[in-house]
Amino acid sequence: MDIVSALVVIALLLVGATALGVVVRARSARVASGCGGDEHDLSVNGAEVTLVQLSSPVCSACVAMRRVLGELAADDATVAHRELDVTDHADVAQRHSVYSTPTTLVLDAEGRVRSRLIGAVRPDEVRRAVDAARGALVTA
């Protein structure tokens, strides 16, 4: 095999691996609704919705979620954001079967878990989960 053919094969392998990585990453972020459970001690008093982000010190996606959730809370006074390290709050992680970080629990004003966001989720998905938590409180 000559050098040009080898470089073409390497380039194709890199493109294929990158495409596969993008697909896997896009599918790893999930939103689950109706998770149940009460977490009164985690909700922030006065907030209609509390976003509880469960993170770990070595989680690179947690940094992106911290920014997304922090901006959402800064833009909407009825939304609060708390971040918990799973190594310090293993009981919360265990109660909610957290196997990867970041995992974000969306709590309504009464402290009930309304949604669970797994992975680095897009801002529009977070907003939909917040709106659903608000709607669940109104219809309950």
Ranges of the chain whose pLDDT falls below 50: 139-140
Residue that has been written with the tokens 């939304």 in this structure: 79
54 in Cβ contact with 93 (< 8 Å): yes
Amino acid 59: pLDDT? 92
Domains of the chain, by residue range, sit at 30-139
CA distance 26 to 119: 9
Amino acid 20: pLDDT? 78
Is pTM beyond 0.85? Reply is: no
68 in Cβ contact with 27 (< 8 Å): no
Amino acid 136: pLDDT? 65
42 in Cβ contact with 111 (< 8 Å): yes
Instruction: Output the DSSP codes for 65-134.
Output: HHHHHHHHHHH-TTEEEEEEETTT-HHHHHHTT--SS-EEEEEETTSBEEEEEESS--HHHHHHHHHHHH
Amino acid 27: pLDDT? 54
CATH 1.10.3210.10 fits 30-139, yes or no: no
Amino acid 140: pLDDT? 47
Amino acid 74: pLDDT? 96
Amino acid 42: pLDDT? 85
